[in-house]
Amino acid sequence: MTVLVTGAAGFIGYHVSAALLARGERVIGVDNLNPYYSVALKRARLKQLQAHKRFAFHRVELARPGRLEALVKRARGVDRVVHLAAQAGVRYSLDHPRAYVESNLVAQLEVMETCRALNGLKHFVYASSSSVYGRNAKLPFAEDDRVETPQSLYAATKRADELMAYCYAHLYRMPTTGLRFFTVYGPWGRPDMAYWLFAEAIERGKPIKLFNEGRMRRDFTYIDDVVEGVLAALDRPPADGGPDAPPHQLYNLGNNRAEDLDRFVSALERALGKTAKRQYLPMQKGDVPATYADVTAARRDLSFAPRTAIDEGLRRFVDWYRDYHKRR
Ligand SMILES: NC(=O)c1ccc[n+]([C@@H]2O[C@H](COP(=O)([O-])OP(=O)(O)OC[C@H]3O[C@@H](n4cnc5c(N)ncnc54)[C@H](O)[C@@H]3O)[C@@H](O)[C@H]2O)c1
């Protein structure tokens, strides 16, 4: 049978697709290849995937009503869906709110409608985010903490995605799992994220911007650890527990460590063999001072065990980053 991966040209979608192919699955990847960041990078990821015979790619705008459903019906055999397409990024949401409603709410509805129309769907897995925890003071963040204070429209749409998914699990008894990712980094990563922007600036001798005067803590999670968590979740659809317990589950996928931003930059300096010019700036709108994942539930149910230390993860990112730019 076949796994549909949305956002397959994106950072996490690319890695999840590659891991599924590596274990012998058939994968249909969809993406609209939007220009939020380098389309060349998205195409380069796809090129790797297209080397596999069991991978098929379709360029689809998910928010267009019925488009995905028609494609999936034609393709036949899809029994699991991993929905990773989204408009990501907290800062961009301050100036481009419509992109978030379109790609995170309208598109998610279309993906869920496609799932509802599928005969024999085994599992719908979708991406949420640590940003749903907002400025919660209780650390680490656990799945049953209250999440009612989103600090950005991005966070609000991710929380809405969770509620929409819960509703479909309840109404249509659709086995559904939401994964709250915590600052994922690694090779083939995202050029809009801090670790990439920092690496780029340090390589060029330019200053890096540390917001909230550097007093930030993030739970940085290495991509391979996240992918293991996604596949483990995909393989374990939640059971239907009756009217009051629909088959919906939420998991934090984080590294279970809140890393000081300064320590993170030092590790990046070591990986690059260069010193950063640090520029300390006030807190940015929409941002949160800390993220830190309690992964007890994922450890218990998914045997999730992130094992990549920040030094090792950043070394692998820098090796890839330099190689990628040399080739281009
Ligand atoms: N990377 C992280 O640190 C992180 C953290 C928390 C949550 N997430 C979530 O994980 C998921 C994957 O993130 P990522 O880092 O791979 O982001 P990404 O931007 O690299 O990938 C998302 C992909 O979705 C595609 N896409 C966006 N809107 C679309 C639409 N309307 N129709 C079709 N395709 C569309 C984009 O072209 C892109 O290739 C997203 O839902 C994101 O919000 C990521």
Indicate whether residue 85 lines ligand 1 (CB < 6 A): yes
- pLDDT at position 199, please? 98
- pLDDT at position 19, please? 98
CATH classification of the domain holding 72: 3.40.50.720
Q: Which residues belong to the active site?
A: 154
Indicate whether residue 291 lines ligand 1 (CB < 6 A): no
pLDDT at 246 over 90: yes
Beta bridge partners of 277: 207
Domains of the chain: total: 1
Q: Is residue 233 part of a domain?
A: yes
pLDDT at 189 over 90: yes
Q: φ and ψ at 96, to 5 degrees?
A: -130, 55
Amino acid (1-letter code) at residue 222: Y
Mean pLDDT of 143-162: 97
- In which domain, by residue range, is 136 found? 2-182+223-255+291-307
DSSP per-residue codes, 228-255: HHHHHHHTSPPP---TTS-SEEEEEES-
Nearest atom (ligand 1) to Cα of 34: 37
Q: Cα–Cα distance between 152 and 285 in angstroms, integer?
A: 8
Q: Is residue 109 part of a domain?
A: yes
Indicate whether residue 134 lines ligand 1 (CB < 6 A): no
- pLDDT at position 212, please? 92
Q: What helix, strand, coil percent values describe the chain, rounded to 5?
A: 45, 20, 40
For residue 275, report the distance from its CA to the centre of ligand 1, in Å: 31
Q: Is residue 197 part of a domain?
A: no
Q: Is residue 85 part of a domain?
A: yes
Nearest atom (ligand 1) to Cα of 9: 39
Beta carbons within 8 Å of 28's beta carbon, 6+ residues apart: 2, 3, 4, 5, 55, 56, 57, 58, 71, 72, 75, 78
Q: Is residue 178 part of a domain?
A: yes
